[in-house]
Structures are given as C-alpha cells and as structure tokens.
Amino acid sequence: MGIFADTRGYFAEMWQAWNKFWFQSVDPATLCLIRLLAGTLLFYTHLVWSLDLQAFLGQEGWLPVEYIRRVQGEQWSVWSVFFWIKPGWLLWCVHIIALLVFFCLMIGLFSRTMAVLAFLFAVSYAHRVSPGAFFGLDKTNCMLALYLMLGPCGARYSLDSVRRVRKGITTPVAPSTAANLAIRLLQVHLCIIYFFSGLAKYTGENWHAGTAVWWALANQEYQSIDMTWLANWPLLVALATHATVFWELSYWALVWNRFTRPLVLWMAIFVHAGIALFMGMITFGVAMIIANLAFLTPQTVRRWFDPLAGRVARLLGAGK
Amino acid sequence: MAKFEPSRPEQQPRPTAPPQQPVKKPAPPRPAGEIGWHPVWRWFVSLLIVLHLLAVFCAPWDLSTQAALPPGFIPPTDNLGRQLPPPVGVLQEPIVTRGLRTWFFRHYLNLLYLNHGYEFFAPDPNGSHVIRYQIRDSGGREVAGGQFPDLKAQWPRLLYHRHMMLAAQTGDMGEESGRHYAQHLLAVNGGQSVRMEWIIHKLLPPQDVKNGKKLDAPETYQVLANIQEVAKPKPVPEQPVALPPTEGGR
C-alpha cells in the first residue's frame, strides 16, 4: 500500500513542479525586453542584405535557387518565399515589407502579429542562404523569433503599450502563462545549444590541449582586434580554452541554481562579447547575449528598464 | 361565507427605468505565480513541449554522432597499404538518432529552421578560406580582379562575414558551387572568362608569431583548387517573325 501511495505522491509532486515550471503566470517584462533587442537585431541584420540583395537572395546570384534547392534535397519543408520570387522589383518589394515587419517588431507595433511574420521572414532568408552564406547568427535569429511569437511580447516597452495608455486603458499589465512558456522554451533551447557545442568541442584535440582559443584568435579573416600578443601568454590561452569548454558543458546544470546563475551568465557575456569584439562577429555575439537575457527575472528587468521606458513613454505622450 | 378579497385596482405597470444590467467588470488579472490554463489544455501543451524539445535535442545529437566500426575491426587496405572504405554493412549506424532526425522530426526541424549541430568552432578552429579571381575579356585583358572575403570591399562587417561563408561553404557543397560563383562574377563584372583560386589561409602557431612571422605571410596561403570558367552564352531573345509586306488594305 505504501509503495503505491508514495509512487502516486511522487508523480503528483512532479506534475505540480512541471506545472509551476511551464505554466506559472509571470510578468512578461523579460519577453518584452527580448522583443525590443531581438527586433532591433533582426532589423539591422536583414537591412544589411540590402547592400547586395540580388546576389544573395535573387533567383540567380552567387548560388541560383535551382541549385540551392537541389543541394537541400528538394524537400517541401525547406521553404522560403525567395524560392518563388523571380522579378527583381518583386524581390525588393518583399524585402522592404520584411524590413517593415522587423521594424514594427522592434518598436512594438502590433507586436504579436509582427512576431509571427518576423519568424516567417527570418526563416525565409535563412533557408535561401543555407548552404552558402549562413552561420550561427541565422540560427539564433530564427530561435529568438520563434519564441517571441508564443507570448505577449508587446505588453511592455512597446508602442502597443503606449497606445493602450493613450486610449485611457490603465489596467496593469497582466501576468501571462504564455510569456512564461516562451521564456522557458528559450532557456531550455539555450541549454541544449551550449551542451552540444561543448560536446563537439570536447572531440577536438586543440580544445583538449588548451590551445583552441589561440587558433581562433590567430585567424586573420576573423580577427577584428589583433590578439597575437597572446602568443606570449600560453597559460592565459589554456585557461580561456578550458574555461570555455567547461562553461558550455555545465551551462545546462549551473544556470538553474540561483547562486551559480550570475557566474554562468557573466561568463556568457564575457565569451560572446569576446567573439563580438575580437573575432568580428558582432551580430552573432550580440544575438547570443540577447538570448541569455531569458534568464533575467521579470523583477530584475523592470528594476533596470522601467525608469528608462517610463521616460520614453512620457516623451510619446503616455503617462504623467 | 366566502371571504371576498377586496378587489385590488389593477396595477398599472409603472413607467420605470429599464432594469440595469449588471456591469461586467473585467476579471482581475491573475496574480503572478498562479498556474494558468485549464488542466486539459496544460496536458496537451505539455505533450507539444516534450515533442518540440525532443526535436530540438535530437538534431545536434544526431549531427554529433557518426557511424561506428565494430571494436577490433581492421579496415582493409590496397596493395600500397592505403586504407579502403569498409565493406557494406560493417558500419554501425546510430539508428535512434538518425531515425529521429532524418525521419520522425525531419520536416518539423526543417520548417522551423532547427536542423543544426551548433558546432561553433568545433571540433577544432581551422584556417579560413579565401577565393581570388581574375576576369578577362575575349582579348585576354584583365577586366576585373579581387577576392572574397575582402575587408576593404565588403562593409559592414556582417556583409564581409557573409562573403567569408561563401568561400568557406563551397568546400561542403562541392565544385558546382564554385562554377556558380564564377558565373555570378562574370555576370556582374562582364568579361569572357574567369579564373578562380580556392585558397586556405593556414594558421600560425604561437612560436612562429613570437619569432616575428606575420599572419599573412605568403607561405600561409595554399591553393586547394582552381576553377576556370567561360561566360555562358546569353540567351538570344526570339525575333518576331517578319510578315511579308502587304499591299495596302481593301
């Protein structure tokens, strides 16, 4: 009898914990901050395509659509609006619409609808250049857009919230289960990324030997700041290499504990800011830092950003 | 005796204000920390969460696993001692991860652009690839030349990085991708032929840098492949059929 009661109790407790983890309602401040930053990043990174749009996204260009479709295995599920767009003027029209969508997501105008459209456009661009010109930035862009559309990402720090106040709606922003779900999915997704990134590094001889950071920084095509002075500091290189691998491998475990979380997140900022500053991948570094913000509590986000958001809202004619 | 109730004057309905409908107040927002949604809905969403996260997990899991040879298997060699590929059926495929990624979740991963290994700078950082090209006209004169990626020609940094990926990923795609690059360069710059060199820029060990060697020393560049391509003939627009001149109308 005892064993059944205990087993039932175990599952009941687990279901409670599961519900608390995924379905607890929270203030959507964290999701809204990520919308603001990810929207800005999506807008900028897609704006850059404008400088050589036809070459990268046109029917011909560097890699013709017909060839890319063949390399991708002609699968129906690998989709992009750019596979069907032929005339140059139409390509530009779609590109401008996409930029408007990303811009609206950034400023938080019709946020939820724009988040869905932003995801569809982000995947469209990414599939058109995969393989060919894609890299980690496209994966992170699509991941951020995917989870933004699941929750009320325009409830705060948005034109939507300013419009609500100007219409006289003064009810406070409601806590949201969907916001929690979106943030939780992003958090777990990040854990999976770092875990497998760490595992993949663990199969490399240079990551084992503690020299990989040197090889990464001594790559002239990546380099944006000369770090070759590290040739005189092999111990520093080794420590940075080992710390990177252990941080990635343990991220999924240590980020949930409130005492180790700040250390793990500061390390994330340190690593990704390093990639941005020294290896020229500014957009990718910023994208990963934005994703890591998912681990900030809504209270922290509000404490840091509400004063600034309040000033901006007053400038826009909302609030006292 | 029957009691008669005094007759009551018929009550006229008084003109009264229409009955007030109770004003529906919006439900107060659920306090933070409360569990939301109906249990049935939560069960359903829980199932979707598990499936989604399993899909996200199995993509890098499968991409990080390889088919394995049986323990102790000695690969066959040719007469010169070079290793040959193992006979068919010897390689042990990781059936769970392959099945999940390439069959069960295949289209889901594709649709959401989740089919990735996340192998950032793994297994080891390597040298970068560069493509240098020279375009000539029909008389053999050079009409354009350059390389990609090129920090001077491609700005901002993200555009430069996209060109760097073009040079790097042609290695994975094969020779045909190089031919497409060549045709694109011809289409943009004009000219009759293009010669491209696919180069790896090898990395220098710290000792060489300490000894004063430059990261871009000529010997760090090694040509991996050459591509020579001529411009495709441009499609000639169809000429309208010339009708015989008519001698006036009726």
Q: What is the pLDDT of residues B144-197, one digit of tens each?
A: 999 999 999 999 999 999 999 999 999 888 899 999 999 999 999 999 999 999
Query: Nearest residue on chain B to A233, judged by CA atoms?
Result: B206
CB of B201 within 8 Å of any CB in chain A? yes
CA distance A138 to B16: 68
Pick from A24, A55, A215: which is nearest to B33 by CB?
A24
Nearest-CA neighbor of B76 among B92, B94, B88, B66?
A: B88
Query: Nearest residue on chain B to A27, judged by CA atoms?
Result: B32
Mutate to test the interface with B, among A14, A59, A62 (most CBs of B within 10 A): A62
CB contact under 8 A, B113 and A138: yes
Mutate to test the interface with A, among B114, B120, B180 (most CBs of A within 10 A): B120
The 10 Å CB-count burial string (b at 16+, else e) for B138-169 is eeeeeebeebbbbeeebeebbbbbbbbbbbbb
Query: Nearest residue on chain A to B215, judged by CA atoms?
Result: A220
Q: Contact, A314 vs A320, CB < 8 A?
A: yes
Query: Nearest residue on chain B to A138, judged by CA atoms?
Result: B113
pLDDT tens digit at each of 320 positions of chain A: 689 999 999 999 999 999 999 999 999 999 999 999 999 999 999 999 999 999 999 999 999 999 999 999 999 999 999 999 999 999 999 999 999 999 999 999 999 999 999 999 999 999 999 999 999 999 999 999 999 999 999 999 999 999 999 999 988 999 999 999 999 999 999 999 999 999 999 999 999 999 999 999 999 999 999 999 999 999 999 999 999 999 999 999 999 999 999 999 999 999 999 999 999 999 999 999 999 999 999 999 999 999 999 999 999 987 65
CA distances from A233 to A213, A270, A277, B37, B207 (A): 12, 19, 19, 56, 11
CB of B54 within 8 Å of any CB in chain A? no
Q: What is the pTM of this model?
A: 0.90
- The residue to which tokens 């500053």 are assigned: A277
What angle in degrees, to the nearest 10, is found between the helix axes of B39-63 and A177-202? 20
pLDDT band per the 50, 70, 90 thresholds, residue B36: confident
CB contact under 8 A, A231 and B210: yes
CB contact under 8 A, A219 and B128: yes
Pick from A76, A175, A228: which is nearest to B31 by CB?
A175
Pick from A19, A196, A214: which is nearest to B35 by CB?
A19
* Chains A–B, number of C-beta pairs less than 8 Å apart: 223
Judged by DSSP in three states, B199 sits in: strand
CB contact under 8 A, A133 and B169: yes
Nearest-CA neighbor of A272 among A289, A290, A247, A255?
A: A289
Q: Which residues on B lie below 8 Å from A137 (Cβ)?
A: 158
CA distance A195 to B57: 10
CA distance A31 to A175: 12
CB contact under 8 A, B113 and A139: yes
CB of B61 within 8 Å of any CB in chain A? yes
Pick from B30, B46, B124: which is nearest to A215 by CB?
B124
- The residue to which tokens 């950032």 are assigned: B120
Query: Nearest residue on chain A to B177, judged by CA atoms?
Result: A63
Pick from B26, B42, B162: which is nearest to A56 by CB?
B162
Query: Nearest residue on chain A to B221, judged by CA atoms?
Result: A220
